[in-house]
Amino acid sequence: MKFRTDLAIENKEIYDKENQEEKIEIKGVEVETDHYEGAVDITRIKITDEHGSKILSKPIGNYITLEIDSAVDGSEEIKEKAAMALSLELKRLIKFHSQLKVLIIGLGNDKVTPDSLGPYTVAKVKVTRHYFLMYDTDSDNEISCVSGFIPGVMGSTGMETADLIQSAARIAKPELIIAIDSLAARNVDRISTTIQISDTGIAPGAGTGNMRKQLNESTLGIKVIAIGVPTVIDTKTLILDNLSGFLSDPDGAEAYLDDNGYQMIVTATDIDQVIKDFSDIIANGINITLHPGIYS
Amino acid sequence: MKFRTDLAIENKEIYDKENQEEKIEIKGVEVETDHYEGAVDITRIKITDEHGSKILSKPIGNYITLEIDSAVDGSEEIKEKAAMALSLELKRLIKFHSQLKVLIIGLGNDKVTPDSLGPYTVAKVKVTRHYFLMYDTDSDNEISCVSGFIPGVMGSTGMETADLIQSAARIAKPELIIAIDSLAARNVDRISTTIQISDTGIAPGAGTGNMRKQLNESTLGIKVIAIGVPTVIDTKTLILDNLSGFLSDPDGAEAYLDDNGYQMIVTATDIDQVIKDFSDIIANGINITLHPGIYS
Amino acid sequence: MKFRTDLAIENKEIYDKENQEEKIEIKGVEVETDHYEGAVDITRIKITDEHGSKILSKPIGNYITLEIDSAVDGSEEIKEKAAMALSLELKRLIKFHSQLKVLIIGLGNDKVTPDSLGPYTVAKVKVTRHYFLMYDTDSDNEISCVSGFIPGVMGSTGMETADLIQSAARIAKPELIIAIDSLAARNVDRISTTIQISDTGIAPGAGTGNMRKQLNESTLGIKVIAIGVPTVIDTKTLILDNLSGFLSDPDGAEAYLDDNGYQMIVTATDIDQVIKDFSDIIANGINITLHPGIYS
Amino acid sequence: MKFRTDLAIENKEIYDKENQEEKIEIKGVEVETDHYEGAVDITRIKITDEHGSKILSKPIGNYITLEIDSAVDGSEEIKEKAAMALSLELKRLIKFHSQLKVLIIGLGNDKVTPDSLGPYTVAKVKVTRHYFLMYDTDSDNEISCVSGFIPGVMGSTGMETADLIQSAARIAKPELIIAIDSLAARNVDRISTTIQISDTGIAPGAGTGNMRKQLNESTLGIKVIAIGVPTVIDTKTLILDNLSGFLSDPDGAEAYLDDNGYQMIVTATDIDQVIKDFSDIIANGINITLHPGIYS
């Protein structure tokens, strides 16, 4: 893949484009689209075998994309519809039962705005595990037993983020981990419109270029759902992508950039508001899903 | 003790006052005062036996108080002198050697200003452990191997803070833990002037009234130094203390307050600046102490 | 008045208490209570003559107090009911018409949390005047022509706040000024429960003890409505008030405090959340009142 | 000019490049370079006539660029050298005398990080005018009479920023205005390295594409010095600039982008730290220049 992106839907778009067809069938890739209340477009990509995995450069599993128009600085109504749609999609991957033990992880660095989605979201999720520790709780209550953890980044802790997460998991003993993280996209517009849900695990710190441990169901023995929002764009991606219809020799252009160009990562100028609005939407979507007895 | 305070020096002051003497000798308590460059007054209280411990309501160990005039919103020069003085006192308790393994813990809640001293300070400490993990490092370099950890509070994580700290200690394997926390004092003036260093361990969450696990050398097998700054005042303490020379029946007044009065905890109105300035001073003092090859 | 408070309702309470009666009639003071949807208690105090003004130590005019249970960190529902109640009370003092010209002033210092209610609230109010400047606007639209201004405090600007407000008024030419400010109360509980609306004008910087210019209908020729929330407590007030039933000689206690005690002003430890929640409520209440075409 | 930039030095670089020469002489443009203590490169561009003004697309006047290596997250020492260099350059444009009346304006939006340089800097400048108002001041003291003003942006105030600034100038009656603002650059690297000082005035809101009033010596009768730091990059600029050596038909590429491409503005991912560090440097440089009796 020429383009750096964390979004399965962008890999699919690139593949479609390179193959000159609107929407091509790929063996090992199932695609389904949906729509929620005139506000949210949903694309469910399921990679079912190694062939599909290789074509889309992503592990086997589910990748659900929500595209929301005008979420940033938009009305509370749009944000509530987005949270409802997110909750409906989460319920496809999560089997809720009363007292479900969930550990919510907020990846990233709360001091760097484009990397702060995870910490901000976890701060807004309803954490309940300590009530279960401290009081007798009515098991009929439709709430989950939720812990929250903000591990920080290696540059601030000096420790492997994956190790810290595993430690928290040993304390909270969750049946399910939900990790929230900032992502990279190739299309700047996605910064203020897109949420991706996947069930293939996480590799904390991958965005910083450090090789990192994979955290997923096979390494942890616990299902790991990742929820991400694109917050950064690689400038090489940005450049090649914007001129893709113009350049006669894109490979030459890329080689030229590699030799002469920047490898800077950039972000949107309204990133403060993006983080505020999307952390609201994601925390809400999680609260509705895990605590139906309180939030619905 | 009638008065709620986390400061050994205030317990000593109360004892002195109740006993009608300026500075009284207590068996099992050694007191020494010092002064640093016209800017910082230092009082070193050493509790040496059970008798001293009972009299001052504190565990056996060292309690060093730094009193700094005009630290808040003051000149950079005052803050640098305070950091130097803090470093000199830390060196009485810490035996530095190259690559000393230290874990810095920031206790408290970064979303509640008067409880955010720990998280803010850790964010300003120079963390280095990942360099040692990633590169061959010159063992002659006068720097420590420092990790940082911000465990959050139980209401936000759902997990026991002490459990999270023990997990981090298992990862970082430190020879020394330094924990930074907000404290309660009886005297409002102390909020913008006082730092206490002690070597008797910590009980995370103690300030919230929850019973908590003690973390100290005997429970962890690792020396634990606590650095704290008073940021809150109990109103009962404030009331009784301010009228102490006026009330003929202080016990009756206290009983009255217990029946009728508030038990609110209050803070100074300039608490934002207090946290900013004292986190600068403490982080600087730690950096100078642990990384002499970089900071001095 | 022995007690420092900016709340008319507290002056009334003190008067009642001193006169040993539950609710006493005062010549020149009309009091009316009301209740909004099980969530907000309303007390409307109208001072109608000089006698009432002298008794309650407040200028002639209207003082409406809203008391909200569990507003801080409470449910969105409570906050919406509080905003609705605030809007209903504002409508008693404001005659809305389409394109009503309003200048919203956020008094206080955004860098000092307990003094930041005004700036935070103005940032959440829907400002519209520039649309009227830039586009032809449909005069049938039920929205006001709203400007917003955050003048800062004299210590940060070097200028009289009243002068800056008058300048902004000369630009925006409003029919009505609404000023939001932090207040002092005698009762700590009021910090997280009370909103006061008054129509007697403002004296910017009065809280800092500096003599300041009055801004009201007679000095400006524009109606001035002030909306305030108590965020600070004077410790003298706190002390005397809490022991009021115990002290046999309250005047002696006060004299003792004046000679020996602190004059510190303190705030609640959850002040960050108080500012967040009350700025939401007040901005919402203003938006509903001034822009019925958008918000209801 | 094909490239959008607020930096005179970039216009000069583009002109040089287009004319195939390293450093070309332009009639009406004087260029001088300098260096400060191994840390700051200085380029002084003086546009002396209409010809120079047309060639560089900038009004007649002085444009001083400071380039600082490793200012962001760098040592305090580098930041102090940068502040000293900035002060030396300011002194070329400002004739200090005791009680010099200066109004410091912080342009931009404090809620949008890449636009918040102005507000953050003004908050760190030593404002003194109120001391002169309140006390008899010793006229021999080497300090200026400084006011500070943060006018906000039209979208938040509903008022023309230029009108608000003129009002503040009528109150403070300054001999000199210094305005701090965020700038656009073509080169991403400049976001963390460059400060521009100019004496040709400001046009508040120009960055938002709205036509705005010019504030300069001829419209105000007061000398206006602007200090700016690039914080945003136009993506079109970024794209064309990075491929400038590769594209055989840059005009065609530009036309293609205009038809198909984005016009998004992006910022650096470490923008929070950029704003923090450069507001420190600029505020310090101003304080040293205007208050030699306190800061040197």
Residue D188: pLDDT band with limits 50, 70, 90: confident
Return the structure tokens found at B132: 């040692």
Closest CA to A269 of D119, D259, D204, D184: D184
- The answer to whether the CB of A229 falls within 8 A of the CB of A194 is yes
Chain D residue closest in CA terms to C126: D156
What per-residue confidence (pLDDT) applies to B135? Answer: 79
Return the structure tokens found at D9: 């030095």
Residues in chain C predicted with pLDDT less than 50, given as ranges, are 1, 207-209
> Is residue D211 predicted with pLDDT exceeding 60?
no
Interface contact flag, C262 B269, Cβ < 8 Å: no
Cα distance between residue A63 and residue A226, in whole Å = 10
**From the list B130, B133, B155, which residue is nearest A130 (CB)?**
B155
Kindly state whether A171 is in contact with chain B, defined as any CB-CB distance less than 8 angstroms: yes
What's this model's pTM, rounded to 2 decimal places? 0.92
Closest CA to B164 of B93, B123, B107: B107
What per-residue confidence (pLDDT) applies to B148? Answer: 98
β-pairing, D61-68 vs B265-268, is: unpaired
Chain D residue closest in CA terms to C109: D123
Interface contact flag, D158 C111, Cβ < 8 Å: no
Cβ contacts of B145 on chain A, cutoff 8 Å: 158
What ipTM, to 2 d.p.? 0.91
Return the structure tokens found at A169: 């998991």
Chain B residue closest in CA terms to C275: B112
User: DSSP secondary-structure letter at D62?
Assistant: E
pLDDT average, residue stretch A100-119: 96
SS3 at position B248: coil
Return the structure tokens found at D84: 């000293």
Closest CA to B296 of B133, B68, B96: B96
Q: Which residues pair with C78 in a beta bridge?
A: none
Query: Model confidence over D265-295: pLDDT tens digits?
Result: 889 999 999 999 999 999 999 999 999 998 8
pLDDT average, residue stretch A16-24: 72
Cα distance between residue B27 and residue B29, in whole Å = 6
Kindly state whether A120 is in contact with chain B, defined as any CB-CB distance less than 8 angstroms: no
Cα distance between residue C149 and residue C103, in whole Å = 7
Kindly state whether B167 is in contact with chain A, defined as any CB-CB distance less than 8 angstroms: yes
**From the list B123, B148, B163, which residue is nearest A158 (CB)?**
B148
What's the fold here for domain A8-295? Rossmann fold (3.40.50)
**From the list D111, D266, D273, which residue is nearest A267 (CB)?**
D266
Cα distance between residue D51 and residue D41, in whole Å = 27
Cα distance between residue C132 and residue C149, in whole Å = 17
Mean pLDDT rounded to a whole number for chain D: 90
Kindly state whether B111 is in contact with chain C, defined as any CB-CB distance less than 8 angstroms: yes
Cα distance between residue C237 and residue A233, in whole Å = 56
Cα distance between residue A30 and residue A32, in whole Å = 7
- The answer to whether the CB of D41 falls within 8 A of the CB of D67 is yes
Cα distance between residue D238 and residue A168, in whole Å = 43
β-pairing, D145-149 vs D194-198, is: unpaired
Query: Model confidence over D89-129: pLDDT tens digits?
Result: 999 999 999 999 999 999 999 999 999 999 999 999 999 99
Instruction: Give Cα separations from D4 to B152, D1, D11, D113, D217 (angstroms).
Output: 45, 7, 9, 21, 25
Residue D198: pLDDT band with limits 50, 70, 90: very high
pLDDT average, residue stretch D71-83: 86
SS3 at position D231: strand
Interface contact flag, A167 B168, Cβ < 8 Å: yes
pLDDT average, residue stretch A19-28: 77
Return the structure tokens found at A58: 């992503």
Mean pLDDT rounded to a whole number for chain B: 90
- Neighbors of chain A with 3 or more C-beta pairs under 8 Å: B, D
Interface contact flag, B152 A148, Cβ < 8 Å: yes
Cα distance between residue C273 and residue B32, in whole Å = 42
Cα distance between residue C185 and residue B202, in whole Å = 36
Kindly state whether D262 is in contact with chain A, defined as any CB-CB distance less than 8 angstroms: yes
> Is residue D216 predicted with pLDDT exceeding 70?
yes
What per-residue confidence (pLDDT) applies to D139? Answer: 64
Cβ contacts of A114 on chain D, cutoff 8 Å: 269
Where does residue B54 rank: exposed (0-12), middle (13-18), buried (19+ CB within 10 A)? exposed
Interface contact flag, D246 A256, Cβ < 8 Å: yes
Interface contact flag, B260 C242, Cβ < 8 Å: yes
Dihedral, CA of residue C220, residue C222, residue C228 and residue C234, to nearest 10: 20
Interface contact flag, C167 D164, Cβ < 8 Å: yes
Cα distance between residue B44 and residue B65, in whole Å = 6
SS3 at position C110: coil
What per-residue confidence (pLDDT) applies to D222? Answer: 96
Strands (E), A186-257: 194-198, 223-234
User: DSSP secondary-structure letter at B170?
Assistant: H
- D83: closest CA of chain C, how far (Å): 21
Asked whether the CA dihedral B169, B171, B174, B179 is positive or negative, the reply is negative
Tokens 């508040």 belong to: D204
What per-residue confidence (pLDDT) applies to B159? Answer: 96
Give 3-state DSSP helix, strand, coil % of chain C, rounded to 5: 40, 25, 35
Residue B209: pLDDT band with limits 50, 70, 90: very low
- Read off φ and ψ for residue C182, nearest 5 degrees: -80, 145
Cα distance between residue D241 and residue D186, in whole Å = 7
Return the structure tokens found at B4: 């709620």
> Is residue D232 predicted with pLDDT exceeding 70?
yes
Kindly state whether C246 is in contact with chain B, defined as any CB-CB distance less than 8 angstroms: yes
State the angle between helix axes of A161-172 and B161-172 in degrees (0 to 180), rounded to the nearest 10.
Answer: 140
Cα distance between residue B259 and residue B253, in whole Å = 10
What per-residue confidence (pLDDT) applies to D87? Answer: 98
Mean pLDDT rounded to a whole number for chain A: 90
- Read off φ and ψ for residue A39, nearest 5 degrees: -130, -25
User: DSSP secondary-structure letter at A110?
Assistant: T
Instruction: Give Cα separations from C173 to B210, B281, C103, C169 (angstroms).
Output: 56, 48, 8, 5
Q: Where are the domains of chain A?
A: 8-295
Cα of A258 vs its chain's centroid, Å: 28
